[in-house]
Amino acid sequence: MSIAVDPGSFRDPSGFIFYREGTLLRQVQPGYGEAYDLLISSGLYQALTEAGLLISHSEESVESGLTPTAYRILRPERIPFISYPYEWCFSQLRDAAGATLQIQKEALRCGMTLKDATAYNIQFREGKPTLIDTLSFEKYEEGVPWIAYRQFCQHFLAPLALMSRTDVRLQQLLRIHMDGIPLDLASQLLPRSTWLQPGLLTHIHLHGAAQKRYEGETTARSGSAGRVSRIALLGLIDSLETTVRNLKWQPSGTTWAEYYSQTNYSDTAMVGKKRLVSDLLAGIPEKPRIVWDLGANTGLFSRVASAQGIQTISMDIDPAAVEKNYLECKANGETHLLPLLGDLTNPSPDLGWALRERRSLPERGPADLVLALALVHHLAIGNNVPLGHIARFFRSLGEWLIIEFVPKGDSQVKRLLATREDIFVDYTASGFETAFCGSFEIVQTLPVPDSERTLYLLRGLPASA
């Protein structure tokens, strides 16, 4: 029988995640029993799951627990793809922050409070941010400050403020600071004008200063020296909500609507290419359950898959493209598409304690199908990656691959080569096929009309090959 504890589930003694025969289960420890019962009896669980703010679960027999001491064994609904806040666009992080505050308000209404507010507890389920940690609640005691206030500010407010007011790329600080961006660092990086905004002044600048001032000093969690009344706590949540809501980000120097209209294709060619991708998708004997569209831009071709009800990850390196993609998903209520930020030349690595807390991009696979359209030239010429290396990496991500070869005669490749020496002697259609046939077999090829490009449907050779 295969049993494995999730290596990232160790911080909170309330319980942990483990896998039994591949089934994801959550063990609730006896010490959390009272809080778990309150979550159910207070109506909080029902209210949050009905609102789509908390992952639902069923209860299994306690005999299926990892240890005989288990208080409850929960079987949560599975999320098709776990993503991390450093892979979200601005609006995704902002929506996740909003959901966390909404959950906290609902918890207070039911006599409970969030005991943590980590962004890693939020996942996108059917396009919406959802709390996946059922054990994040504890009984609210009147007068006690919000224990997760600092974590909320470090995980959500600081990165959002930096993305909005300094530079959107500073979100990547989340990759190196596992418990969110330190507030003194955020305070230093934010422009001076943010000292004049009450929300950022309080929750970032003064908060950072207070942390420094009282670092290592003692304070009672429920002491009488200072109390935070319920109305003050609601005021704090309201202030955080207003601050988050007022943070905006839009790519500068671009006309939003036309940001990605400058491509190498006419509208007709785009429609034609979509049809070709759809035809190749139909050529896969078993309908893929999960597709990763890499270099997805604003997700035009991702939607060929997601429109068929396939869970699709739509990944791009450009924060503006991912933002536009996500806003379109929201506007259309799309439930099968998840836009994510990712640099394929430096994909999300394994991170955290023992490098097991946050998993790398390939570790979260495999995908049933990888889409790599108008991408190979960026990797091979833009980043000097040999074609064979690209083939092996794509093979590690999934069995099926739809890939577009963009030859040197194409205007996009000419542009890449305009300012550098052409050292890419193997970058030809035959060189491409030779390199990829080391890892895949060619199932079908289709020329892209009105261009020199070719689309390939490839099937991975067995792993030992």
Give the residue, chosen from 22, 61, 192, 225, that forms a contact with other proteins under the rule CB under 8 A: 225
- Minimum gap (Å) between residue 231 Cβ and other proteins: 4
Q: Which two tokens stand for residue 107?
A: 């918890």
38 neighbors 71 (Cβ within 8 angstroms): no
Side chain identity at 55, as an amino acid letter?
A: I
Q: Contact region for other proteins (CB under 8 A) — 18-26, 106-114, 208-216, 446-454?
A: 208-216
- Minimum gap (Å) between residue 51 Cβ and other proteins: 21
DSSP letter string over 409-422?
TSHHHHHHHTTS--
Q: Does residue 235 bind other proteins (CB under 8 A)?
A: yes
CA distances from 265 to 82, 141, 169, 273, 449 (A): 33, 61, 29, 9, 10
- Of the CA atoms within 13 Å of residue 181, those in its CB half-sphere come to 28
- Minimum gap (Å) between residue 202 Cβ and other proteins: 7
Which positions from 141 through 160 interact with other proteins, judged by CB under 8 A?
A: 145-147, 149-150, 153
Residue 398 makes CB contacts below 8 A (sequence gap 6+) with 292, 365, 366, 367, 368, 369, 370, 460
Residue 79 DSSP one-character state: P
Q: Contact region for other proteins (CB under 8 A) — 107-115, 122-130, 220-228, 301-309?
A: 220-228
Q: Does residue 463 bind other proteins (CB under 8 A)?
A: no
Closest Cα partner for 357 from 120, 63, 35? 120
- Minimum gap (Å) between residue 238 Cβ and other proteins: 5
Query: What are the two backbone dihedrals, phi and then psi, of residue 4, each rounded to the nearest 5 degrees?
Result: -145, 135
Identify which of residues 224 and 464 has a Cβ nearer to other proteins in the complex.
Answer: 224
Identify which of residues 235 and 447 has a Cβ nearer to other proteins in the complex.
Answer: 235
351 neighbors 178 (Cβ within 8 angstroms): yes
Residue 351 DSSP one-character state: B
The footprint of other proteins on this chain (CB under 8 A) covers a number of residues equal to 40
Q: Contact region for other proteins (CB under 8 A) — 57-65, 194-202, 261-269, 366-374?
A: 194-202
Q: Contact region for other proteins (CB under 8 A) — 40-48, 61-69, 196-204, 264-272?
A: 196-204
- Minimum gap (Å) between residue 145 Cβ and other proteins: 4
Helix residue ranges per DSSP H, 360-443: 376-380, 387-397, 411-417, 429-436
**d(C-alpha 153, C-alpha 157), whole Å:** 5
Give the residue, chosen from 215, 267, 286, 421, that forms a contact with other proteins under the rule CB under 8 A: 215
Burial class (CB in 10 A: 0-12, 13-18, 19+), 385: middle
Identify which of residues 178 and 317 has a Cβ nearer to other proteins in the complex.
Answer: 178
Which positions from 384 through 443 interact with other proteins, judged by CB under 8 A?
A: none
- Minimum gap (Å) between residue 147 Cβ and other proteins: 7
Give the residue, chosen from 63, 176, 193, 213, that forms a contact with other proteins under the rule CB under 8 A: 213
> Residue 127 CB: number of other CB atoms within 10 A?
19
Q: Does residue 105 bind other proteins (CB under 8 A)?
A: no
Helix/strand/coil for 239: helix
- Minimum gap (Å) between residue 341 Cβ and other proteins: 29
**d(C-alpha 294, C-alpha 344), whole Å:** 8
Q: Which two tokens stand for residue 21?
A: 């025969």
Give the residue, chosen from 22, 191, 226, 285, that forms a contact with other proteins under the rule CB under 8 A: 226
**d(C-alpha 147, C-alpha 388), whole Å:** 51
Q: Does residue 216 bind other proteins (CB under 8 A)?
A: yes
Identify which of residues 11 and 389 has a Cβ nearer to other proteins in the complex.
Answer: 11
162 neighbors 173 (Cβ within 8 angstroms): yes
Burial class (CB in 10 A: 0-12, 13-18, 19+), 69: exposed
Q: Does residue 352 bind other proteins (CB under 8 A)?
A: no
- Minimum gap (Å) between residue 117 Cβ and other proteins: 11
Q: Does residue 238 bind other proteins (CB under 8 A)?
A: yes
- Minimum gap (Å) between residue 276 Cβ and other proteins: 55
- Minimum gap (Å) between residue 383 Cβ and other proteins: 41
Site residues, other proteins (CB under 8 A): 145-147, 149-150, 153, 195, 198, 201-202, 206-207, 209-221, 223-229, 231-236, 238-239
